[in-house]
Amino acid sequence: MNQVTAVLNEVRASSPLVHCITNTVVPEITANVLLAVGAAPAMIDLPEEAEIFAGVASALLINLGNGSSEQHRAMPLAAASAVAHDRPWVLDPVAVGALPVRTRLARELLEQTPAAVRGNPSEILGLAGESAGGRGVDSTDAVEDALATARGLASRVGTVVAVSGPVDLIVSADRTTRVTGGSDLMPLVIGTGCSLGATVAACLGAALPAGLGRHDAVVAAHALFAAAGTVAARQASAPGSFRTAWIDALYRLTPDEVVGLVTIRDA
């Protein structure tokens, strides 16, 4: 718990600059979420600029949902630049497994050793070649179905794998954490998962220079999102009002309130 609060405090204190190469459906909510949690967003898609910017940003997000050909050219360049400049980067393998172009690209990007991989169960299984993917961006597999696969990816790639669902699963080579909280309304708001990937990047970008661990940074991002979902669900009963209440909660919640609203369990 102390590590989660330390990460969230560091995000507010350092305001990490998060470079997002993300899909065309979600830039606005992703930017708003990053601002709400205390980070600074930047959407840089041009290949020539993305390569440069990934080396100066605090962290990089690569989200494969609905990407353009230009984005697909930028992604490997940005990932390589982030690694070369010792910047953490996050892979969000949206709809991987079901679609061949993004699936091939995602597996190539894994060779650039992301600090974290975040997806739903079907995406994680698809990334590892153990599933044909879900129903579009929706998972058709349960979170626990992806546990063994997540452990294998974490060990093979040297990354933290986060599997999102009713209970989020965060897996490193030697540690597994479950985060319980949130609301059933969260999947009904476009961009909650994609902006979670960006927040994972923000937490990594703040945590690592402060000497805090990657696993705890990923747990902190999921705990913050789950806590904000819990608070928003108390105020809203439909997706539109929930979206506003959720972003407000991301902004208002203190780190101590976050850990009091969710269950975090290592197992």
Q: Record the pTM.
A: 0.95
Q: Which residue has the tokens 């020539």?
A: 48
Cα 33 to Cα 189: distance, rounded to the nearest angstrom: 13
Residues whose CB falls within 8 Å of the CB of residue 41, separated by 6 or more in sequence, listed in order: 18, 20, 30, 31, 34, 35, 198
Q: Report CA 17 to chain centroid distance, whole Å.
A: 15
219-250 pLDDT, tens digit each:
999 999 999 999 999 999 999 999 999 999 99
Mean pLDDT for 4-15 is: 98
Pairing of strands 59-63, 89-92: parallel
Which pair of tokens denotes residue 235? 């105020």
* pLDDT for the residue numbered 132: 54
Structure tokens at 36: 């709400």
pLDDT in tens, 14-30: 999 999 999 999 999 99
- Quote the strand ranges of the chain, DSSP E: 17-21, 40-42, 59-63, 89-92, 116-119, 160-163, 167-172, 175-180, 263-266
List, for residues 44-56, the tens digit of each pLDDT value. Answer: 999 999 999 999 9
118 is in an annotated binding site: yes
Cβ-contact 194, 187 below 8 angstroms: no
- For position 106, what pLDDT does the model report? 95
Determine the Cα–Cα distance for residues 212 and 158; give it in Å rounded to an integer: 17
Concatenating the DSSP letter of every residue in 197-249 gives HHHHHHHHHHHGGGT--HHHHHHHHHHHHHHHHHHHHHH-SSHHHHHHHHHHH
Strand 40-42 relative to strand 17-21, pairing: parallel
97 and 126 in contact (C-beta within 8 Å)?
Answer: yes
Q: What is the dihedral sign for C-alpha 55, 57, 58, 60?
A: negative
Range of the domain at 245: 2-266
Q: pLDDT tens digit string along 156-176?
A: 999 999 999 999 999 999 999
* Contact present, 227 and 258 (Cβ < 8 Å): yes
Tokens of 147: 């546990």
> Position of tokens 């992703």?
30
Q: Is residue 1 marked as binding?
A: no
In this model, does residue 128 exceed pLDDT 70? Answer: yes
| C-alpha to C-alpha distance for 61 and 262, rounded to whole angstroms | 25
Q: What percent of the chain has pLDDT over 90?
A: 88
As given in the structure block, the two tokens for residue 246 are: 């959720």
Q: What integer best gives the mean pLDDT of the chain?
A: 94
Q: What is the CATH number of the domain that holds 10?
A: 3.40.1190.20
- Total domain count for the chain? 1
- Measured at the CA of 259, the angle between CA 183 and CA 145, to 5 degrees, comes to 55
